[in-house]
C-alpha cells in the first residue's frame, strides 16, 4: 500500500470496496525504463498522490455540482511492484495487475510512469471489453516503429497498440514539434489514426475538436494523457517538454466533455517526472486530471 492513497480513498489489496466490486480502481505503475530522454517518471505516482494534500475532506466539484464519493466506490491498490532494470518483466507485471483488477471494477485509473505502460494496460482493458476507441492527449504521436530491434518505449507504445488490434479508433490531440517523421505520420494515417496538431487547435478550437471526437467514437473509450500535451508553463515536470501546448484549463475541460458524453472505461496520466517539476505544478494538474475524470463520471452516474 502507498504511504498515502489518492485523496485518502480506501486502500485495497484486490480492487474491491469493502468486499464488493468497486466502481473505480486507482493503480500506480512506477516505470520509466521506456524513456528515451530524461528519466524520472517512476516517481510520478507518488507525486500525483501527494498532490492530494492540498484538497481535504469531501470532493465536491463546484462546476459540475457533484460530490464524487456520493456516487462512486473508489479504492487505491497502490503501485505495481517493479524490479529495477527489468523493463519487460515490469510491464508484464503491470498487465497482470490490470487484468485482475478489471474483473472486480468498472473503471481503472493508471498513474504513470512513462508511456510504454500504455501497451500492457490496453492489453488488459481490451481483454475485457474488446478493442476500444482510444483518445490520446500528447505532444508526440508515439508511433515510431522502434527501429530494427522493434523496441517498446514511450515513443512506440501507440504503434504497438494499433498493431495488436487493441483499438478500433485512434484520436490524437495536441501534437506539435519536430517529429515523428513524414513516413511515420503516413503510416499512422494509413492505419486510421485521426490527429489534430496544436495548429489545428488554434484554427478550429479545442471544444469543436472534442465534439468531433465525441460524435465519432463508438463503443467503449479509453483516455490516455501524456502530461506533455500541456505547455511547459503548466507542466514543466516531464521528460520531453514541448513549447506551445494546451493550457491546463483546456485539458481539464476536454476530459470533462469526453467523460460526460462517452462510455469511458479507463484513463491514465503518464510522464509526470517530479525531478523537473517546480512548486509541484505538474503533479497538481495531473492530480486534477484524475479528479475531473472522477467528477464527470460521478455526474454521469448520478444522471443515470
Can you say whether residue 260 is alpha, beta or left, with left for phi > 0 and alpha for psi between -120 and 50 degrees? alpha
- pLDDT of 277 > 90? The answer is yes
Q: What is the mean pLDDT of the chain?
A: 95
- Tell me what pLDDT residue 151 has: 82
pLDDT band at 3 (very low <50, low <70, confident <90, very high): low
Q: Which long-range contacts (CB under 8 A, 24 or more apart) does 228-231 make?
A: 228/138, 228/139, 228/140, 228/271, 229/137, 229/138, 229/139, 229/173, 229/174, 230/285
Instruction: Say what the pLDDT of residue 221 is.
Output: 98
pLDDT of residue 164: 97
Q: In sequence order, what are the residues at sequence separation of 6 or more whose Cβ sits closer than 8 angstroms to the Cβ of residue 161?
A: 118, 119, 122, 134, 167, 170
CB 24 within 8 A of CB 68: no
- Tell me the pLDDT band of 152, cut-offs 50, 70 and 90: confident
| pLDDT over 70 percentage in the chain | 98
Q: Give the separation between CA 220 and CA 228, rounded to whole angstroms.
A: 25
Question: Cβ of 145: how many Cβ atoms within 10 Å?
Answer: 17
The average pLDDT across 9-38 equals 95
Give the cell for residue 297. 463520471
**Residue 61: strand pairing partners:** 66
pLDDT at position 56 is: 64
Distance CA 218, CA 234 (A): 32
- Cβ contacts of residue 116 below 8 Å, gap of 6+? 31, 33, 34, 87, 91, 152, 153, 154, 156, 157
Confidence of residue 114 (pLDDT cuts 50, 70, 90): very high
CA dist., res. 299 & res. 283, Å (int) = 24
Q: Which of 51-55, 118-122, 172-176, 297-301 has the lowest mean pLDDT?
A: 51-55
Stated pTM of the model: 0.97
User: Residue 179 has what pLDDT?
Assistant: 81
Confidence of residue 148 (pLDDT cuts 50, 70, 90): confident
Which of 37-51, 177-191, 234-248 comes out lowest in average pLDDT? Answer: 177-191
pLDDT computed for residue 55 by the predictor: 79
Model pLDDT, residue 53: 82
pLDDT of 2 strictly over 70? no
Predicted confidence (pLDDT) at residue 139 exceeds the cutoff of 90: yes
Residue with cell 466533455: 257
Cα Rg of the chain (Å, integer) = 17
| Mean pLDDT across 73-100 | 96
- Pick the more confident residue, 268 or 85: 268
Answer yes or no: is pLDDT of 107 > 80.
Answer: yes
Amino acid at each position: 500500500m502507498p504511504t498515502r492513497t489518492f485523496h485518502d480513498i480506501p486502500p485495497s489489496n484486490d480492487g474491491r470496496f469493502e468486499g464488493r466490486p468497486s466502481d473505480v480502481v486507482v493503480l500506480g505503475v512506477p516505470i520509466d525504463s521506456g524513456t528515451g530522454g530524461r528519466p524520472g517518471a517512476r516517481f510520478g505516482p507518488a507525486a500525483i498522490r501527494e498532490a492530494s494534500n492540498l484538497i481535504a475532506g469531501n470532493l465536491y466539484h463546484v462546476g459540475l455540482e457533484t460530490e464524487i464519493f456520493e456516487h462512486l466506490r473508489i479504492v487505491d491498490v497502490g503501485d505495481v511492484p517493479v524490479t529495477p532494470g527489468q523493463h519487460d518483466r515490469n510491464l508484464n507485471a503491470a498487465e497482470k495487475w490490470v487484468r485482475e483488477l478489471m474483473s472486480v471494477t468498472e473503471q481503472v485509473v493508471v498513474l504513470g510512469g512513462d508511456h510504454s505502460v500504455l501497451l500492457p494496460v490496453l492489453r488488459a482493458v481490451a481483454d475485457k471489453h474488446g478493442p476500444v476507441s482510444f483518445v490520446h492527449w500528447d505532444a508526440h504521436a508515439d508511433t515510431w516503429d522502434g527501429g530494427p530491434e522493434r523496441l517498446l518505449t514511450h515513443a512506440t507504445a501507440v504503434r504497438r497498440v494499433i498493431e495488436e488490434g487493441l483499438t478500433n479508433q485512434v484520436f490524437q490531440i495536441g501534437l506539435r514539434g519536430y517529429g515523428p517523421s513524414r513516413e511515420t505520420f503516413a503510416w499512422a494515417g494509413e492505419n486510421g489514426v485521426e490527429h489534430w496538431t496544436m495548429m489545428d487547435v488554434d484554427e478550429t478550437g479545442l471544444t469543436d475538436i472534442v465534439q468531433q471526437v465525441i460524435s465519432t467514437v463508438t463503443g467503449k473509450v479509453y483516455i490516455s494523457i501524456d502530461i506533455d500535451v500541456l505547455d511547459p508553463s503548466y507542466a514543466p515536470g516531464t521528460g520531453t517538454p514541448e513549447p506551445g501546448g494546451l493550457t491546463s484549463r483546456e485539458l481539464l475541460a476536454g476530459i470533462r466533455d469526453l467523460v460526460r458524453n462517452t462510455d469511458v472505461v479507463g484513463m491514465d496520466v503518464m510522464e509526470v517526472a517530479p525531478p523537473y517539476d517546480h512548486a509541484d505544478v505538474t503533479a497538481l494538474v495531473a492530480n486534477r486530471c484524475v479528479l475531473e475524470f472522477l467528477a464527470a463520471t460521478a455526474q454521469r452516474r448520478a444522471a443515470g
